[in-house]
Chain A
Amino acid sequence: MDDVFKALADASRRSLLDRLHAKNGQTLNELCEGLAMTRQAVTKHLVILEEANLVTTYKQGREKLHYLNPVPIHQIGERWIKKFERGKLAALSELKRQLEKRDE
């Protein structure tokens, strides 16, 4: 999970994920298009994203296609978001209890 947070802690890498989210299965060339990053920088960022399992690649003929893999992000959500929801629910029931007490 450290890898995932480290990989996500960089705006350039998040923008690469955004690009894959918008269009999955891009080649390095496609990913570089219109970006203010060098090809070398994009390659380096992709390696970090791949190591974190946020990007996975697929070889098709001579092309290497990049895919966004949302599974690790889902695991992060599962680990923490549920707890926050429980917190919200607890806060709401406390609010209800307090308001109803005042009516008494």
Chain B
Amino acid sequence: MSKPDYIYVVYIQAPCETVWDALIDPEMNKEYWGRQCNLSDWKVGSRWQHANYDDHSEVMVLGTVLESDRPHRLVLSWARPEHAGNPDKVSKVTFTVEDQFGASKLTIVHSELDDEMRNAISGGWPPILSSLKTLLETGEAMPMTRRNWKRNA
């Protein structure tokens, strides 16, 4: 097993179930993920897609649900649609949600990244996670993550 490329941790004042659900609920995703959302039935072995909330045919990332154990663990394979068939270009994301004295510790481990995806995600996760925390704790996500990132890039 190669070592992870990135590990991000954020503590959120919310139950683990709330955090886990926020990861897979398109209505919440769009608020903290630049108007993008995650789509799947979230069963192990199912496909999942990360797409434009306003146009689901615009898919940025896709993969397979490798593990799905609400509310503690979600493991996804992660690739650009054009690279989904190339094992060298498929990375892996592990979400872990642990209870910490009534709050949740959300850890995201991104591994098996190629250089292109490494550059793409290294700037992406910190604002997404900060905004997820803001959304769950205040009821409103940060304005920067509620806009469509692509259009404003």
A interface with B by C-beta (< 8 Å): 24-25, 53, 56, 58, 60, 65, 67, 69-71, 73-75, 78
Please determine whether B3 and A65 come into contact, CB atoms closer than 8 angstroms.
Answer: yes
Please determine whether B3 and A75 come into contact, CB atoms closer than 8 angstroms.
Answer: no
Known contacts: A71-B126, A74-B130, A78-B142. The answer to whether A58 contacts B9 by CB under 8 A is no
Q: Specify which chain A residues have a CB less than 8 angstroms from the CB of B133 in the assembled complex.
A: 75
Q: Which of A25, A53, A69, A74 contacts B4 (CB 8 A)?
A: A25
Please determine whether A56 and B107 come into contact, CB atoms closer than 8 angstroms.
Answer: yes
A50 to chain B: closest residue by CB: B9
Contact residues on B (Cβ < 8 Å of other chain), bracket: 20 to 34
Known contacts: A58-B109, A78-B142. The answer to whether A70 contacts B8 by CB under 8 A is yes
Known contacts: A53-B9, A53-B11, A78-B142. The answer to whether A71 contacts B130 by CB under 8 A is yes
Is B28 among interface residues, defined by CB-CB distance under 8 A?
no
Please determine whether B130 and A78 come into contact, CB atoms closer than 8 angstroms.
Answer: yes
B interface with A by C-beta (< 8 Å): 1, 3-11, 107, 109, 125-127, 129-130, 133-134, 142, 144
Please determine whether B3 and A60 come into contact, CB atoms closer than 8 angstroms.
Answer: yes
Please determine whether A25 and B129 come into contact, CB atoms closer than 8 angstroms.
Answer: no
CB B46 to nearest CB in A, in angstroms, measures: 27
Q: Specify which chain B residues have a CB less than 8 angstroms from the CB of A25 in the assembled complex.
A: 3-5, 7
Q: Which of B4, B11, B126 contacts A58 (CB 8 A)?
A: B4
Q: Specify which chain B residues have a CB less than 8 angstroms from the CB of A71 in the assembled complex.
A: 8-10, 125-126, 129-130
A67 to chain B: closest residue by CB: B7
* 6 sampled A-B residue pairs with Cβ under 8 A: A25-B5, A53-B10, A60-B3, A65-B3, A70-B126, A71-B10
CB B91 to nearest CB in A, in angstroms, measures: 15
Please determine whether A74 and B127 come into contact, CB atoms closer than 8 angstroms.
Answer: yes
Please determine whether B9 and A56 come into contact, CB atoms closer than 8 angstroms.
Answer: yes
CB B19 to nearest CB in A, in angstroms, measures: 14
